[in-house]
């Protein structure tokens, strides 16, 4: 059956205490709402509606920059009167649509396409009027609770603020992700009221209304509560980042990467790491980074976008690399900054080497050819090229190209003043 998707992203996100709309807060460098958009787009719905309201223009322009397989249609909710009211804003767009509407909150970035597919299948094969994606959590605080009757059938959802003490004990929660028969949803939305503690039009009230009309409501229970977590606070934003890093670490370990401390491996989901690479503690790997196989990275290394490490590269402690290629078997073992550089294979970069790639206006490239040896504490003032198998004396500030096989020395000659200490005492 045909289905469309509607994502709710009009809210302010009061609990974030921010000038930035909640759905634009960066999670591992990308707006929170991008995640669910990307996941939903993967499923290939006929259309995606995105309800925006609070700082709508800002949200819309932020999302226009993002590459998405299916572009969302924006729906404006001028006043944010609740999740039910938000869906109502798409009424005209949906009035001729008889398929399924998959409704999701913009603030749930961790949901997987597989779970959404499971939900859609469950909804269709069960013939339900609505199906709620639910999960069971230890601490249900803040979520709507799933109320079931003695037969175990869902009878409604009660929001935390409206719940009785008894209902607050329920640990099965509403993820805010649902499948609806679109036309039944529209009919029921016409009947909801704002008669609750928050004075809002709750989407959740549709469930109760459907049941009162004797329609069947399904609940598709997912076992992984992290998938449905909502980002409402800065704490939850941090927690979601941790989960994404952890998922990435697990994925890499399963693919043959050694990670000494997965809790401090901050590897972006889009980064690539080859097998038999060892990641030491406290390593940050940004997106658009490719690490070959058999490498060593860290501890305390920072690989920024555009970094490409060939196989067998060693990047040691307190090293930052940005927009640079490091060739096969080369070593950058300690305390270096490598930016906008092309480093060949078999190169050794001494401790404290800096590529001076920025003159305050533009960035310039450093080229270090195969087999070169860069002495410790070298400054490479770009643009500059170091020839094949060339050497640089420690402590040099290199401003001119060095030919193949040459030794570059660019530091003042040492002077030793004999008996200097004794002479000073006398005077
Ligand atoms: C909602 C659910 C709750 C569920 C929880 C899961 C309701 C009434 N409650 O609560 O049962 O457990 O999500 O995370 O639906 N939004 C709008 N327009 C509005 C209000 C909200 O677009 O007028 C959007 C928000 O931007 C957000 C989403 O809807 O993306 C959910 O709103 P939020 O205020 O976070 O709802 P919760 O209180 O978390
Ligand atoms: Ca929420």
Residue 216, pLDDT score? 96
Residue 140, pLDDT score? 96
Residue 65, pLDDT score? 80
pLDDT, mean of residues 328-348: 98
pLDDT, mean of residues 280-307: 98
The DSSP annotation for 41-79 comes to: HHH--S-EEEEE-TTHHHHHHHHHTS--SSPPEEEE-SS
DSSP 136: E
Q: Which atom of ligand 1 is nearest to the CA of 52?
A: 22
Q: By 3-state DSSP, what share of the chain in percent is helix, strand and coil, each rounded to 5?
A: 25, 30, 45
pLDDT, mean of residues 315-335: 98
The Å distance, Cα 96 to ligand 1 centre, comes to: 26
DSSP 347: -
Q: Which residues line ligand 1 (CB under 6 A)?
A: 8-11, 51, 53, 77, 80-83, 85-86, 105-107, 143-144, 157, 159, 173-176, 202-204, 230, 232
- List pLDDT tens digits, range 133-153: 999 999 999 999 999 999 999
Q: Which two tokens stand for residue 65?
A: 């920059």
- Residue 3 pairs with which residues in a beta bridge? 100
Is position 334 annotated as part of the catalytic site? yes
Residue 1, pLDDT score? 80
- Residue 49 pairs with which residues in a beta bridge? 6, 73
Element (H, E) at 248: helix 234-254
CA distance 117 to 168: 30
Given a cut of 80, whether residue 178 has pLDDT beyond it is yes
pLDDT, mean of residues 56-83: 91
- Within the chain, all domains assigned CATH 2.160.10.10 are found at 256-408
Instruction: Kindly list the protein residues that place their beta carbon closer than 5 angstroms to ligand 2, a single-atom ion.
Output: 107, 230, 232
pLDDT, mean of residues 37-52: 95
- Within the chain, all domains assigned CATH 3.90.550.10 are found at 3-228
346: phi > 0 → left, psi -120 to 50 → alpha, else beta; which?
Answer: left
pTM value is: 0.92
- Asked whether the CA dihedral 241, 222, 144, 111 is positive or negative, the reply is positive
In the chain, pLDDT over 90 holds for what percent of residues?
97
**Dihedrals phi, psi of 309, to nearest 5 degrees:** -105, 125
The Å distance, Cα 40 to ligand 2 centre, comes to: 18
pLDDT band at 68 (very low <50, low <70, confident <90, very high): confident
- Residue 4 pairs with which residues in a beta bridge? 101
Residue 22 CA: which ligand is closest? 1
- List pLDDT tens digits, range 259-293: 999 999 999 999 999 999 999 999 999 999 999 99
CA distance 233 to 274: 35
Residue 27, pLDDT score? 97
Catalytic residue among 25, 54, 268, 334: 334
Q: Which fold has domain 256-408?
A: UDP N-Acetylglucosamine Acyltransferase; domain 1 (2.160.10)
369: phi > 0 → left, psi -120 to 50 → alpha, else beta; which?
Answer: beta
Pocket test for ligand 1, best of 5, 83, 171, 237 (most atoms within 8 A of CB): 83
pLDDT band at 56 (very low <50, low <70, confident <90, very high): very high
The Å distance, Cα 395 to ligand 1 centre, comes to: 59
Calculate the CA 81 to chain-centre distance: 29
Average pLDDT, the chain: 96
- List pLDDT tens digits, range 15-28: 999 999 999 999 99
CATH superfamily label, 3-228: Spore Coat Polysaccharide Biosynthesis Protein SpsA; Chain A (3.90.550.10)
- List pLDDT tens digits, range 408-418: 999 999 999 99
pLDDT, mean of residues 355-367: 97
Residue 66, pLDDT score? 79
DSSP 81: -
């Amino acid at each position: 059956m045909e289905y469309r998707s509607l994502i709710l992203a009009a809210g302010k996100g009061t609990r974030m205490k921010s000038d930035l709309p909640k759905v634009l807060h960066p999670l591992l460098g990308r707006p929170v709402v991008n995640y669910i958009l990307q996941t939903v787009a993967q499923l290939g719905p006929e259309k995606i509606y995105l309800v925006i309201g609070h700082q709508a223009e800002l949200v819309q322009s932020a999302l226009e920059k993002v590459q998405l397989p299916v572009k969302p249609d924006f729906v404006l909710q001028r006043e944010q009167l609740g999740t039910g009211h938000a869906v109502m804003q798409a009424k005209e767009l949906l009035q001729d649509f008889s398929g399924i509407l998959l409704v999701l909150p913009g603030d749930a970035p961790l949901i997987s396409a597989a779970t959404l597919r499971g939900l859609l299948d469950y909804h269709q094969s069960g013939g339900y009027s609505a199906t709620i994606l639910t999960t069971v959590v230890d601490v249900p605080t803040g979520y709507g609770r799933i109320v079931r009757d003695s037969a175990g059938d869902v009878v409604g959802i009660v929001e935390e603020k409206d719940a009785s003490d008894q209902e607050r004990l329920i640990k099965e929660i509403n993820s805010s992700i649902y499948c609806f028969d679109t036309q039944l949803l529209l009919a029921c939305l016409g009947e909801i009221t704002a008669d609750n503690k928050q004075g809002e039009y709750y989407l959740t009230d549709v469930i109760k209304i459907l049941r009162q009309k004797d329609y069947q409501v399904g609940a598709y229970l997912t076992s992984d509560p992290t998938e449905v977590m909502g980002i409402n606070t800065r704490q939850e934003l941090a927690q979601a980042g941790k989960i994404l890093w952890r998922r990435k670490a697990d994925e890499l370990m399963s693919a043959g990467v050694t990670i000494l401390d997965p809790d401090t491996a901050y590897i972006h989901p889009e980064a690539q790491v080859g097998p038999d690479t060892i990641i030491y503690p406290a390593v940050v790997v940004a997106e658009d980074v490719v690490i070959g196989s058999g490498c060593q990275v860290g501890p305390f290394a920072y690989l920024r976008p555009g970094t490409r490490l060939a196989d067998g590269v060693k990047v040691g402690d307190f090293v930052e690399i940005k927009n640079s290629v490091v060739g096969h078997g080369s070593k950058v073992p300690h305390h270096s900054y490598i930016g906008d550089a092309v480093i060949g294979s078999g190169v050794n970069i001494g401790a404290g080497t800096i590529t001076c790639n920025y003159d305050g206006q533009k960035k310039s490239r450093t080229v270090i050819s195969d087999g070169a040896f860069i002495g410790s504490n070298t400054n490479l003032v770009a643009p500059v090229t170091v020839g094949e198998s060339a050497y640089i004396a420690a402590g040099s500030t290199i401003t001119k190209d060095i030919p193949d096989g040459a030794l570059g020395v660019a530091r003042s000659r040492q002077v030793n003043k004999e008996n200097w200490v004794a002479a000073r005492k006398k005077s």
